[in-house]
Amino acid sequence: MIIRSAFLHGSVPEPEQPDFDRHMRDTVVAEILTYPGIRRVTLRKLAQADAGADAAYMQFDLYFDSVDAMDAALASPVRQAVQERIKAGMGPFSGRVTHVVSDLIEDRT
């Protein structure tokens, strides 16, 4: 299993956080779930960070069966259309977005 994580490094003004967070949770996650081949999406928001940590305001984790499946999804017309809608809701966010891809070694519950 491959996980592509998107980190929103930055901030959202406190008065705008509820609407921004709701948009990310209700709209963006639903849109990402339309990517071809995607298996799962999780959304996390920073609750606490160690002093000096390069903490992200929010993190998306997109799960795919393989790097090839991820690459196909990211190159798809569906993803291109979703990207435009995501950008439209990013107005209150100030910062940068970074991505990393991880290979899930083990997942115990």
pLDDT in tens, 45-94: 999 989 988 889 999 999 999 999 999 999 999 999 888 888 888 999 99
Tokens matching residue 101: 């891809």
pLDDT for residue 24:
94
Q: How far is CA 27 from CA 37, 51, 66, in A?
A: 19, 32, 25
pLDDT digits (tens, 9 = 90+) for 31-56: 999 999 999 999 999 999 899 888 89
Q: Say what the pTM is.
A: 0.91
Largest CA-CA distance found in the chain, in angstroms, rounded: 41
Domain 2-48+56-103 top-level CATH class = alpha beta
Give the 3-state DSSP-derived string for the chain, with helices as H, strands as E and coil as C.
Answer: CEEEEEEEEEECCHHHHHHHHHHHHHHHHHHHCCCCCEEEEEEEECCCCCCCCCCCCEEEEEEECCHHHHHHHHHCHHHHHHHHHHHHCCCCCEEEEEEEEEECCCCCC
Q: How far apart are CA 44 and CA 42, in angstroms?
A: 7
Instruction: Categorize the per-residue pLDDT at 17 as very low, low, confident or very high, splitting at 50, 70 and 90.
Output: very high
